[in-house]
Amino acid sequence: MINKKLKILIFIASSFLINFNFALASPEPISNMIIFGDSLSDIGNNSWIHSTGTPISNLDSKGHRHLWIHDVAQQFTKKEIYPSNKKNIDPIKENVSYAFASADSSNHYLAADWPQDMQIPAINEKCTAPGPLRQDKTFDILSTCVPGLQLQINQYSLDLKKQQSVPNPNSLFFIWSGANDILYAANHPDQLVASAQLAADNIKTAIKKLLSLGVSSTHIYVLDLPDLAKTPFAIKTYSDLQARMAMSKITTFFNTRLQTILTTTLDGQPSLLEPSHLISIHNLLDNVIANPTQYKLSNVTHACLDNHASPVCDGYLFFDLKHPTTQASAIIADYISHQLVTN
């Protein structure tokens, strides 16, 4: 027969396990998501871009352009996500993407996507807000204003002030930036290392801006870059294998620096983020390209548009030269969701 002391110990242990399991099953709810970055996360801010439209992807079965964040936001918040140019946006309650196609990681506006043949966007000193600058009488577009990562966070701060509020402690933040910094310098090999280094440093600055607004580091996630050398853009642009290898190395350099400055202790200062808050899209896409059939893909090297396989793009990893298809975006969303759940 179990003695009285043993009964008490069993009761205490059972109570602890019940409470522990309940804690695991009931994590702090995520009220909404805020996203910063470029075309990989732009759901409609850059509406003037020279492409098939934003967001940059093929149409899904319902005729919508669908990015990774649509799926992640729906899974964790059960709410729609809106571009930051929506009227009366509320970043306290709503899922909002502040990302702009063609944005870099800077604190500048770029004259990107206009004119169409502009290879490297220039800083546009005439800008005071995102959008196209038009001729007064004809309303023809003269130039455009694409806000870099830093300016996107400034806009988020302004939207908070409009609500006379501070960041929602249950908001989740994502930053996916840096690709355009590298791609814009692709034709200038002597600038690649400096561009990649600056982009990583800019992301660190962006995180510090969020922290200064009152955002908790435990609610910030950063996505690294896939191997840019494996995009149809690089394959098509650089027939020379050495040139593609250089692009691959610069991507690795960027990701390594990002990991170092965000997740390690430097000069006695604590890290900005836990290592699990840097999500490796690089590892994911490498695995997808190496094992396409596991992800129900059949073409991981060519663009769906180039092969005239749109609008369906079934089995394609890439929609155009640089962007994933809706099917690939769903793969990215599943991967990110798994990282959030296991974190």
- Place 126 in a pLDDT band, splitting at 50, 70 and 90: very high
pLDDT tens per residue, range 289-331: 999 999 999 999 999 999 998 888 999 999 999 999 999 999 9
Give me the amino acid identity at 277: H
For residues 234-259, one letter each, b for 16 or more C-beta atoms within 10 angstroms of the residue's C-beta and e for the rest, the string is bbebbeeeeebebbeebbbbbbebbb
65 vs 58: CA distance, rounded Å: 6
Average pLDDT over residues 216-226: 97
Q: Provide the mean pLDDT of the chain.
A: 88
- Does residue 67 contact residue 329 with C-beta atoms inside 8 Å? yes
Give 213's contacts (C-beta < 8 A, 6+ positions apart). 156, 157, 160, 166, 167
What is the token pair recorded at 20?
A: 């522990």
Q: What is the pLDDT of residues 169-208, one digit of tens each?
A: 999 999 999 999 999 998 888 899 999 999 999 999 999 9
Res. 51 pLDDT band, cuts 50 70 90: low
Domains contained in the chain, CATH given: 31-342 (3.40.50.1110)
Distance CA 273, CA 262 (A): 6
Please give the model's pTM, rounded to 2 decimal places.
Answer: 0.90
